[in-house]
Structure 1
Amino acid sequence: MTTHFLRGSTALALILGAAAPSSAQTTGDIALDPIFVAGSKREVATDTAAPITTIDETEIRDRQAGTIAELIDSVPGVALVNGSTPTGSGISIRGYGATSTYGTDQKVQVIVDEAVTGSEEIYRLGTQLFTDPSLYSSIDVLRGTVGSFEYGSGIVGGVVKAETKKASDFTGGVPGFRLRETLEYSSNGDGFATSTILAWQPTDRAEILANYTLRRQDAQVDGAGETIGNSQFETPSWLLKGRVYLDAASEHSLTLSYTDTSTAERDVPYDSFGTTDATFGNVDRDIDSRTATLVYNFAPTANDLVDLDVILSYADQEISQSYVPGSSSCDGPGLPCGFPFPPGGFPTVNADHRYETTRLAVRNTARFVTGAVGHELRTGLELIRKERESADSAPGGTDRRVAFYAIDEMSLGNWTVTPALRYEWQTIEDGTGFGGPDSYENDALMGGISARYALSNWLGLFASAAYTENLPILDDLYTTESGTSAPVAQPDLMGTSEKSHTFELGASYDAAGVVAAGDALALKGTLYRTTLWDVTSYTVPGATGSYVEEVETRGLELEASYATESGFYTDLNLALARGEEIYPDDLGLDDGDWRALPGDSARLTLGRKLGDRLDMSWEVVAFNTIEVDDEETPGFSIHNLRATYRPQEGVLSGTEIRFGLENAFDRDYQTRRSTRPAPGRNFKISLARTF
């Protein structure tokens, strides 16, 4: 693989060689809380060894994104398969996650209000992003394995954790009623969205929120003016969320949330990743994605050893599809595809899918001191049941898991050391009826440790090591015998877990008064190296039935923010990645570049805030030219302009007006992981007001 970009060592040197601040907070020998840059677009979490980025509600609104993908692709290390549509898209973090064939490889976890969700390995149908960004108040993106053990096993790429809005976000915690209405329009594809929020606090101990969002988009055009096939969609979404404190001291609470996003597609390509589908043809497809979560919390103010959550969550995704007769080039006499087309369409095209995940979790956070060491001990027990109906393109069954984890964040002077442990036991029951073994059992012990040392009040160093296992999945129950459609059991895969370890090393810097009085600077850089072995997710190109032996990836992620007292701010994200996939020796093949490399990228934002009235920014996104196994993807740069105006007086007081111009110079480009061209110039405007 060849690339043309910045060298990672130079970027990390910016952190290690940063000038000492002219003034800084002092706390003796105790490590500081992070200094979050006032006035910047995004906070840099400098107080933790975990590579985590939070996108708050202000940024969600300012970006005017039509999908979750369009929000999180601004995080270093995150790349997308497409992204401007809810179907046919997927998330990739550090080269793991979505592929151009499946919406997931099970190495990125998606969590919505404590409900584990995301797509299954359904052929040519990515559904991991099937939810609307208007439902959420914040999204955390955790990259890599360290820090993931309380969320699941086999997490190599990372975690996307989305939190929905709540009524007190709009009422300010004061009893009363609020109505918020948002209208959005985008020029490329005549996109339209309306979002209505009703927030009610009958008392200071109860709150209820209801949200209805309708988002619609026609076919978009790329930078060359060509129509992007399969880019139209319409998605209505619902959110209901309520919380009640059960006692006067507000120590006991119940929170209930429910989300529902659906779409009805007619005469669209079965292959949702592509722009056309001549082989499989078109389908009528209905998708409904639902999550429900009930959380009981007990947090007594007089006992730091108890902060207890009991969580019951349910995620349900249902996909119904039927072939549109005559839409395939293989449908009819002559058999141009070289095989007969079954009456009514391929079984894969007509397959209906449904998968349901129920999770009961009990977790507690205990804060205590032993000697000179302060502890924040998080422990949890999880019972997980995933049920999936059998379909012609995906085996069904039941995957039951029991998991226990313990994570202890220990503080001693300038040191913060966090060991983590997770044990998971699994039973998979075959629900296909094809005659293979009835069930399989597996278990794994995983864990890691991270350490951060504060060299001073403004400079910290950190390192981590983590090991995880990806237990077998329902998709690996059966394969298709070469040359036939007969299902063949894969007991070897059902007894094999993928294994990986990741090592990280980095530094952080945060200070005020660095260049001038009243300014603030935050930097964080992370070097990582990941090895995946006992691979069952990726086959060797051109060698059917042979699996890659190992995958090795490494890279650098840099986040930086700088803001001045006068309102000027700068944000910088940088991601560099390299990787190889290693093939078995008996194949006699040269090892290849890692197929999921997205290309090195940089994102620079320059902006100015004029109090609370006006926020203007210019964003530059650049990808390098990348060549993977002799296949070159050209580099590109695009420019995005944004402005948020909040009138402070007059009839428009309290109204938020947002303007956006994405791909301002109408650049014709396609990212390496995507299967469709990117949209061309797109003007966006939104109006929002809370009554």
Structure 2
Amino acid sequence: MSFQDKAIKKRISVATIACAGAVLWLHGSVVPAWAENDEMKVLEMFYEDKELVVTPTRDPKPISQVAENVTVITAKEIQALNAHTLGEVLNTIPGVHVEPRVTPGGLSPTLSIQGSESNHVRVIMDGVTINNVSDFLADVGAIPVQRIAAVEIIKGPASSAWGSSLGGIINIITKSPDEGRKLGGTVSASMGERTTGDFRLELSGTRSSLGYYLAADGITSDGLLPHTGVDSGSVYGKMTWDPQEDTRVFATYSYSRGKRGLGEFPQYGLRQEGDYEHLIATLGMSHALSESLDLDIAGRFSHRDYSDVSGALGAGEGLNNNSYEQPNLGASAKLAWRTGIHSVIIGTDYDNGTIDADLRENGGTVRTKTHGRLERRAIFANDTIVWNNWSITPGLRYDWTSTSDDFFSPSLGVTYNLSDHTVLRAYVARGFNVPSLTATTVGAQGLQPNPHLEMEKVWSYQLGFETTFLRYLWLKNTVFRHDVSDFLAYDGATNSYVNQGKQRRQGVEVEVKSIPFFNTTIGVGYTFIDARDRLADERVPNIPRQTWDVSINYDDRKLLRGGLVGRYTQWNAREDFNSRENAMIWDLTGGVRFLTGQVSGEIFFVAHNLFNGSQYLHYFFRNPGRWFEGGLRFNF
């Protein structure tokens, strides 16, 4: 073991032992009677709207029985951020990194969980994978937030339930029809500098056995940095029908399109811009076969088109023009059987995705057309066994793919309720990531495909605990280690990707949050990641090494609310990236509520990058300086 590894293990161990020691010491102390009587009320403050999670086993279960490192953020918390897109929300979560943050709705930001590659993170909405089959990237900057009821994030591989997801899962749970009234909704509009605007409309209700949720939005901007303007819009709908008490039929539809500047690069005399058009539709049914047996089936269709153009600064013609069409057809089925101490889930997935690429180089004089297909089939099963204070969750999945080898993904999670307010967790899993069609079949400009690529593989180990024993504080601590093999690396000799890398990503996450006092809550998160090339025994660059997340929120639940959210990241960037990490970026939000008859409303504002700091990984993608926006929101 090298000196660096010993130092890293010592740093992780000290942080974990200190947190665990505090919990165990307090656990052995005398608990006042008032703490025992009000204990559950305190817990409810931290777990409001978060008691059940779906993503770990693909079926609702209490978060106290979840062994994975899971974070949940709700629509209420998203609204408090005044966020525009999913990317902005994710950039406030410890262990998750989204860069760059430029114009709302602009660029396609990179996404990382605990130091993973962007294509290792699987993003799901309504059971549909958002990632492209071409590069397996998910455009979280093109997903508006108003349709989101909650986002569940699994940090670390979740292949035993979802398949290809070496880095983690981001599951977007969309809003459902309002069952309390026939018609309700929200209208909001905001405007900011550089003609940056966000306009939203939501309608929801239930009539007899039919329910509906409809949303429309638009985001526009002239660009907070040169050539980063955006003009985008989307519509979303969800319909439910309950023909009988034990059956629900549902359908969803999402359509979005946008144009955006991807930046300009004076060093090379280039500018880039891109268009996208996304369509997603699902149709499914949930039926209770008996009191202990449920059946869920769903079909899905998605079609993602996008193009990118690069050209000379100040010139109208494009140097390169690439377009990609990616339709996908899929289906899933799941049986949930609950009996005694067991909750057994058995299911199957099928997806058939294709890509047609049209690559034009040198002003269109060189043109290449390619076609690729990725077919995936899988069966999976897991069981949550609850016995006394223990919860044991074994899981397994077998995947067949048309471009790579088959893969078997086992996992085992254990939780122990040390008391009503403290949960201990342990989790081990084997995960994988399917190489993209760009790497195996289609290729790209200047890149040759390699059809012999194998799946990237990982063994992941996690230990942690979560407690509210301190009554006024919620504390969560997780130690993780991900051993990655067959990592895809670029080979200059063949101008293609090859399986030749081995990496180890290990570290610790610590989160602390207070209950409201004088209507104010304070939260602090710290993440340490050490990523090493296991063959060269060198630190992997461009992976965040240390991150601090700080939040201070005020809400009197009547008139005023406000928040201050900050993030600092130590990038460990390559020297030629000219990164900046000498400032914490702070966003200040505020709102004043009012009530008129049946309509409630709010005047809100945001001061982004309040202290005009600079923090970015690469000087090509600098963060914007301080800018302001404000708006109105009406609920009826």
Q: Kindly state the Cα deviation for residue 357 of structure 1 after the two structures are TM-superposed.
A: 2.0
Gapped runs of 5+ residues in structure 2? 53-62, 360-367
Name 1:293's counterpart in structure 2: 282
Q: Counterparts of 1:323 and 1:231 in 2: how far apart (Å)? A: 13
Specify which of 341, 354, 357 is matched with residue 387 of structure 1. Answer: 354
Indicate which of 181, 187, 193 corresponds to 2:187.
Answer: 181
Letter in structure 1 aligned against 2:150: S
Per-residue Cα deviation, 1:489-517 (whole angstroms, up to 9, x for no partner):
63432xx2221111111121124xx4xxx
Please tell me whether residue 142 in structure 1 is matched to residue 88 in structure 2: no
Aligned to 2:291: 303
Matching residue of 2:476: 524
Q: Which residue of 2 aligns with 1:238?
A: 235
- Deviation of 1:595 (Å): 2.9
1:233 is displaced (CA, Å) by: 0.5
After superposition, residues 498-647 of structure 1 pair within 5 angstroms as: 498-511=456-469, 514=470, 520-535=472-487, 537-539=488-490, 548-564=500-516, 566-583=518-535, 590-624=536-570, 626=572, 633-647=580-594
Q: Specify whether residues 480 and 364 from structure 1 end up closer, same or farther in structure 2 by C-alpha distance, changes over 3 A only.
A: closer
Other-structure match for 1:81 = 99
Could you tell me which residue of structure 2 aligns to residue 152 of structure 1? Answer: 163
1:685 aligns with 630
Following TM superposition, by how much is the alpha carbon of 1:69 offset from its aligned partner in structure 2, in angstroms?
A: 0.7
Residue of 388, 408, 411 corresponding to 1:445: 408
- Residues 393-472 of structure 1 mapped to structure 2, 5 A cutoff: 395-428=370-403, 442-472=405-435
Identity %: 18
Cα offsets for 1:225-271 (capped at 9, x unmatched): xxx22321011111111111011x2x111111111111134xx4xxx
SS of the residue 2:357 aligns to: coil
TM superposition shift of 1:280: 8.7
Is structure 2 residue 360 aligned with structure 1 residue 352? no
Letter of the 2:156 counterpart: G
Which of the numbers 206, 212, 215 marks the counterpart of 2:219? 215
> What CA distance in whole angstroms lies between the structure 1 residues aligned with 2:15 and 2:599?
44
Instruction: Name whichever structure is richer in helix by fraction.
Output: 2
Relative contact order (alpha carbons < 8 A, sep ≥ 6): 1 or 2 greater? 1
Contact map agreement 2:134 2:436 (CA 8 A) in 1? no
CA–CA distance in structure 2, aligned partners of residues 209 and 231 of structure 1: 32
**1:276 is the counterpart of 2:286:** no
SS of match in other structure, 1:111 = strand
Q: For 1:553 and 1:111, how far apart are their aligned partners in 2? A: 24
- C-alpha distance in 1, partners of 2:514/2:560? 18
**Are the aligned partners of 1:15 and 1:523 in contact in 2 as well (CA < 8 Å)?**
no
1:166 is displaced (CA, Å) by 2.6
Aligned to 2:112: 92
Displacement of 1:478 in angstroms is 4.7
| Mean Cα deviation higher: 178-187 or 412-421 | 178-187
Q: Is the 8 A contact 1:195 1:213 kept in 2?
A: yes
What are the Cα deviations for residues 467-490 of structure 1, in whole angstroms up to 9, with x where unaligned?
122234322335879xx96x8563
What is the CA–CA distance in structure 1 between the aligned matches of 2:479 and 2:222, rounded to whole Å? 41
Note if contact 1:40-1:569 (Cα within 8 Å) is conserved in structure 2.
no
Q: 1:129 to 1:299 in 2, by over 3 A?
A: farther
**The 10-residue stretch of structure 1 (397-406 or 111-120) with the greater mean CA deviation from structure 2:** 111-120
CA distance 1:33–1:157, change in 2 (3 Å): farther
Please say if residues 87 and 140 of structure 2, whose CA atoms lie closer than 8 Å, have aligned partners that are also in contact. Answer: no
When normalised by structure 1's length, the TM-score is 0.79
TM-score after normalising by structure 2? 0.85
Amino acid aligned to 2:221: Q
Aligned mates of 2:389, 2:324 — CA distance in 1: 52
1:80–1:674: 8 Å Cα contact kept in structure 2? no
Deviations 1:511-546 (A, max 9, x none): 4xx4xxxx54321111001111122x2236899656
Alpha-carbon distance change, 409 to 122 in structure 1, aligned in 2, over 3 angstroms: closer
Distance 2:619 2:390 in 1: 42
Cα distance in 2 between the residues matched to 1:396 and 1:523: 50
1:279–1:38 Cα change, 3 Å? closer
| SS of alignment partner, residue 35 of structure 1 | helix
Structure 1, 404-413 or 613-622: larger mean CA deviation: 613-622
Asked whether the 8 Å contact 1:90–1:129 carries over to 2, the reply is no
- CA–CA distance in structure 2, aligned partners of residues 40 and 677 of structure 1: 37
Task: State the SS of the aligned residue for 1:442.
Answer: coil
SS of residue matched to 2:198: strand
Matches for 1:192-271 after TM superposition, within 5 Å: 192-203=197-208, 205-220=209-224, 228-247=225-244, 249=245, 251-265=246-260, 268=261
Distance across 2 between alignment mates of 1:591 and 1:110: 31
Q: CA deviation at 1:126?
A: 7.4
State the one-letter code of the partner of 1:363. Answer: K
> Is contact 1:119–1:128 with CA below 8 Å preserved after alignment?
no
Pick from 45, 66, 86 the counterpart of residue 37 of structure 1: 45
Structure-2 change in CA distance of 1:478 and 1:73 (3 Å) = same
Amino acid at match of 1:156: L
Task: Give the 3 Å change call, closer, same or farther, for CA 411–395 of structure 1 in structure 2.
Answer: farther
- Select between 350-359 and 606-615 the one with higher mean Cα deviation: 606-615
2-structure distance, mates of 1:42, 1:615: 22
Mapped contact 1:230–1:276 kept (Cα < 8 A) = no
> 1:150 is paired with a residue of what secondary structure?
helix
Q: Return closer, same or farther for 1:314/1:457 CA change in 2, 3 Å cut-off.
A: same
Root-mean-square deviation (Å): 3.5
Greater fraction of residues in strand: 2
Asked if 2 retains the 8 angstrom alpha-carbon contact of 1:626 and 1:633, the reply is no
Cα distance in 1 for residues equivalent to 2:187 and 2:302:
28
Letter in 2 for 1:14: C
User: What secondary structure sits across from 1:215 in the alignment?
Assistant: strand
Q: CA deviation at 1:395?
A: 4.7
Question: Could you say which residue in structure 2 is the equivalent of 1:340?
Answer: none
Change (3 A) 1:362 1:25: farther
The reply to whether residue 377 of structure 1 matches residue 387 of structure 2 is: no
CA distance in 1, matches of 2:135, 2:270: 17
CA spacing shift, 1:195–1:455, aligned 2, 3 Å: same
| Distance change in 2, residues 1:58/1:638 (3 Å) | same
The number of aligned residues is: 602
- Give 5+ residue unaligned stretches, structure 1: 99-104, 221-227, 332-343, 429-440, 584-589
1:361 correspondence with 2:332: yes
Separation in 2 of the partners of 1:244 and 1:674? Answer: 51
Q: CA deviation at 1:582?
A: 3.8
User: In the alignment, is the contact (CA less than 8 A) between 1:25 and 1:457 conserved in 2?
Assistant: no
Q: Which position in structure 2 is the counterpart of 1:436?
A: none
**Deviation (angstroms), 1:666:** 1.3
Instruction: Flag the 1:653–1:303 CA change in 2: closer, same or farther, 3 A.
Output: closer
| Partner Cα distance (2:612, 2:168) in 1 | 32
The answer to whether the 8 A contact 2:542-2:571 is kept is no
Instruction: Give the 3 Å change call, closer, same or farther, for CA 394–42 of structure 1 in structure 2.
Output: farther
Per-residue displacement from partner, 1:273-301 (whole Å, max 9, x unpaired)?
A: x533775945674310121111211135x
Matched, 1:662 2:608: yes
Within the alignment, does 1:191 sit opposite 2:203 as a pair? no
